[in-house]
Structure 1
Amino acid sequence: MKNPKLYQLVFHKQFIFLVAVFLLAASCKNKGDKNSMAAAADQPKDYTVLELSPRKAVLNTDFPASIQGQQNIEIRPKIDGYVEKIYVDEGSIVKKGQLLFSISAPQYEEDVRTAEAGILTAQADVSSAKMEVEKVKPLVDKNIISHYELESAQYTLQSKQALLSQAKATLSNARINLGYTRISSPVSGIIGSLPYKLGSLVSGTTTDPLTTVYNTGNVFAYFSVNEKQLLNFTRNSKGNTFEEKIQSMPKVSLLLSDGSKYAYEGKIETVNGLINSATGSADTRAVFINPKGLIRSGSSATVRIPLTLDSAILVPQSATYELQDKRFVNVLDKGNKVKSVAIEVMQNTPGQFYVVQTGLSKGDKIILEGAGTLKEGTQVKPKEADENSIYQDLK
């Protein structure tokens, strides 16, 4: 029978040997894994890069505007009287010359009849004076009566003729006043409010007009442009004089209050030559045709002015980051290492892009991913981006 103590000693040594072999193998494996991970970490990662080239872009600038009709004409009575009839309703579309109101003023009808009677009287007096001249003249020719009698008769005739002219003028004025009892629209347009109802007493001194006719065949959009924007627009417009620059400005669009775009484009007509010192802006007017009467006077809208840049450096906004009030972009240097570059961009943006004014130039390669997270000097593996896919949404 074997010695038990000797057997335990041999078993113990074999166990220790196996544990040592296991620990040594595990240690070698861990060291290999760490070396593999370190090697993998040292490999540059793939990042999408974009090589910059000048592109055409359109910058839209929006301005809140108020709309006014081409003409806002107050309809006021020129005589005293009562509103007898109202031929239109609020919001009605009227044509030039269409009857709007009639004023009850019977005294003007009486004035016409009186003036007509006065003409008949004056005509009779003229006829009588002519007869007197015709009667006296032969007697004067025969020296039967004095020459002064003829001159007196002729002066009387002239006086009667003047009275006839005066009577005709009185009749004309009476008819004009009678015509004021029927009020027609001086222009085509839309009827405003009707503050006076049937039977209301009105006069030429009444505070409120009978109504207002808004001629909206063309509408004016009034808005303000600040001094810096005005300089940019005029600097980029063709022409030697300010008037020529205004004429060469591009057509503008109108966004209605519901956000929809108006079907017809407009044109800037005038820019106030004086900058308002309180607001630092100049009043500007654009005109739009309104053939369907869609736009009403007094409504609000937004004027959109486009500015075309023929050669601009554009970078996606997602490729930039902001740090301490400055904007940066990651640029790939010649050694494929990351370099943070500060850029200055225009306030206005074409969609999801920035227009770079300084900091980047043609041929620079920017990294589109990892903005704000990539460290300066990090080695990367560049992957060229497709320009067409990047700028496909650019309008």
Structure 2
Amino acid sequence: MKIFKQIANLAIIAILFIFSSCSNKQQGNAQMASQISEYNVLEVTPQNITLYQDFPATLEGEQTVEIRPRVAGYIERILVDEGDYVKKGQVLFQLNANDIRAQVRSAEAQVKVAESQVSTAKINLEKTQPLVEKSIVSEFQLESVKTELQSAEALLAQANANLANAKANLDYTMITSPTDGIIGTFPYRVGSLVSSSIATPLTTVSNTSTMRAYFSINEKVFLQMTKSLKGNTTREKLTKLPEVELVLPDQSIYNHKGKIEIASGIVDPQTGAINVRAAFPNPEGDLRSGGSGNIRLPEYHNNVLLVPQNASYEIQGKHFVYVANSDNKIVNTPIEVIVGNLKDVYVVSSGLKKGDKIVVEGIAGLRDGMEIKPKVTVQEAVADNIQPSNE
């Protein structure tokens, strides 16, 4: 009987031990479950975006003409001011013309003298001709009179040429603009003696109705930009490029868009860059020759995936994100990104697919294979220049 009681007590102890173990195991499982942390995850979806690349540019007018005098003289009047807009043919400078007017009067007098000589020679010819016919004078004298007439006519032609040249010089004392445009600076003032040989022009006139922006593009970027465009020549391909913007020095955007017109056929061996020219309309005259800015080229990407930059980390130049799988375990995933001008966002070119869930916060405390409790958030418009999808 005593032995039976001992066996019963042992059985009860064993049962209590089993129940205690199961309870401890359940409590351990519950404790482990309570230790799984909740993380915000983002389900990536395709979007259409526009990236931009900026290139420093210098501005020049469509036509910039140096204004130089064609005759020597003192500047008597300046009829425009620096920065004025002038029309073709408008008088800009007036030179003192007293000496040239005297030359014109002298040339006119020489013309009258030559005309008188021609008249005299003609009269002599008219008088000599009938005398030769009557054999009163010889043929030699007739030829001599004809020669005198030809000489007088030549002198008259020379006198007329000198008069035309003097009148032209008189006209040149009124220096006019050869084109519409903006007046440059004035290195010479009233009273300055100028001539056609001066080193510095009187001023410049810049036709700025169309402005040309000159900039350089890396050869690799240029090839990526044009390789998918249709056209038999580079010039034809450039016409297919979208319009470009001009970012002014104050970071504002010029209110007219431009087009890329030409690209140099030579790659600079030192910089590996290609010189490119874009044209912008300038109806208000806001742009000036010699100005600067940045040409902004758009780059369109359709149906691409975006990830916040703070959801990724970088190791030795490679980018990684944590992707939550179907078992709520995170997988360290490498991605390829396009670094653009999007604020706090990367464009993913490979490594992710539509519907993947990436952890977007607290990634510093994560490790590969770790189980999490995902809380799905909605992907918002994470950049100002995301284009609305047509889907």
Unaligned runs of 5+ in 1: 1-30
In the superposition, the TM-score normalised over structure 2's length comes to 0.85
- 1:237 aligned residue: 229
Structure 1 partner of 2:166? 174
**1:351 and 1:394 in contact (8 A); partners too:** no
Quick one: which amino acid aligns to residue 249 of structure 1? L
Partner of 1:318: 310
CA-CA distance at 1:71 after TM superposition: 2.2
| Residue aligned with 1:118, SS | helix
Letter in 1 for 2:94: S
Provide the rounded CA distance (Å) in 2 between the counterparts of 1:388 and 1:239: 39
Name 2:119's counterpart in structure 1.
127
CA distance in 2, matches of 1:119, 1:352: 84
Please give the secondary structure, in 2, of the residue aligned with 1:273. Answer: strand
Residue equivalent to 1:155: 147
**Cα 1:186/1:281, change in 2 over 3 Å:** same
Select which of 292, 297, 322 maps to 1:330.
Answer: 322
Which letter does structure 2 place at the counterpart of 1:48?
A: V
Report the equivalent of 2:263: 271
Identity of aligned residues (%): 44
Looking at structure 2, the residues matched to 308 and 179 of structure 1 have their Cα atoms a distance apart, in angstroms, of 58
- In the other structure, the counterpart of 1:82 is 74
| Contact 2:304–2:347 under 8 Å retained in 1 | yes
Question: Which residue of structure 2 lines up, in the alignment, with residue 72 of structure 1?
Answer: 64
For 1:94, the aligned partner's letter is V
Is 1:361 aligned to 2:376, yes or no?
A: no
The correspondence of residues 286-297 of structure 1 with structure 2, limited to 5 A, is: 286-297=278-289
* RMSD across aligned positions (CA): 2.7
> Secondary structure at the residue paired with 1:240?
coil
Alignment of 1:101-116 (within 5 A): 101-116=93-108
- The verdict on how the C-alpha distance between 1:255 and 1:390 changes in structure 2, with shifts beyond 3 A counting, is closer
The Cα shift of 1:332 comes to 2.6
Partner residue in 2 for 1:47 = 40
Offset at 1:144? 3.8
Matched, 1:262 2:243: no
Identify the range of structure 1 (87-96 vs 307-316) with the bigger mean alpha-carbon deviation.
307-316
Partner SS state of residue 278, structure 1: coil
The correspondence of residues 159-238 of structure 1 with structure 2, limited to 5 A, is: 159-238=151-230
Q: CA deviation at 1:363?
A: 4.5
How many pairs align? 367
Contact 1:270–1:286, Cα closer than 8 Å, also in 2: yes
2:333 aligned to 341, 366, 383, which one? Answer: 341
d(CA) in 1 for partners of 2:259, 2:381: 34
- Name the amino acid aligned to 1:63: F
> How far apart, in 2, do the equivalents of 1:378 and 1:219 lie?
59
For residue 266 of structure 2, give the secondary structure of its aligned residue in structure 1: coil
Structure 1 runs (4+) deviating above 6 angstroms are: 31-34
Q: Distance in 1 between matches of 2:154 and 2:59?
A: 54
The normalised TM-score by structure 1 is 0.84
Mapped contact 2:88–2:180 kept (Cα < 8 A): yes
Deviations 1:162-186 (A, max 9, x none): 2211111111111111122111112
One-letter code aligned to 1:346 = I
Structure 1 position 350, deviation (Å)? 3.6
1:50–1:368 Cα contact (<8 Å) kept: no
Which sits farther off after the overlay, 163-172 or 205-214?
205-214
Structure 2: gaps (5+ residues): 1-23
- CA distance in 2 between counterparts of 1:323 and 1:39 reads 32
Q: Partner amino acid for 2:143?
A: E
Q: Which amino acid aligns with 2:359?
A: I
1:393 Cα shift? 6.0
CA-to-aligned-CA distance 1:244-269 (integer Å, 9 cap, x gap): 11111111101111111101001112
The answer to whether the aligner puts 1:95 opposite 2:87 as a matched pair is yes
**CA 1:192–1:42: 2 relative to 1, 3 Å:** same
* Preserved CA contact (<8 Å) 1:349 1:355: no
3-state DSSP class of the match of 1:355? strand
The verdict on how the C-alpha distance between 1:293 and 1:393 changes in structure 2, with shifts beyond 3 A counting, is: closer
Aligned-partner Cα distance in 2 for 1:371–1:35: 27
Q: CA deviation at 1:110?
A: 1.2
Which amino acid in 2 is paired with 1:47?
N
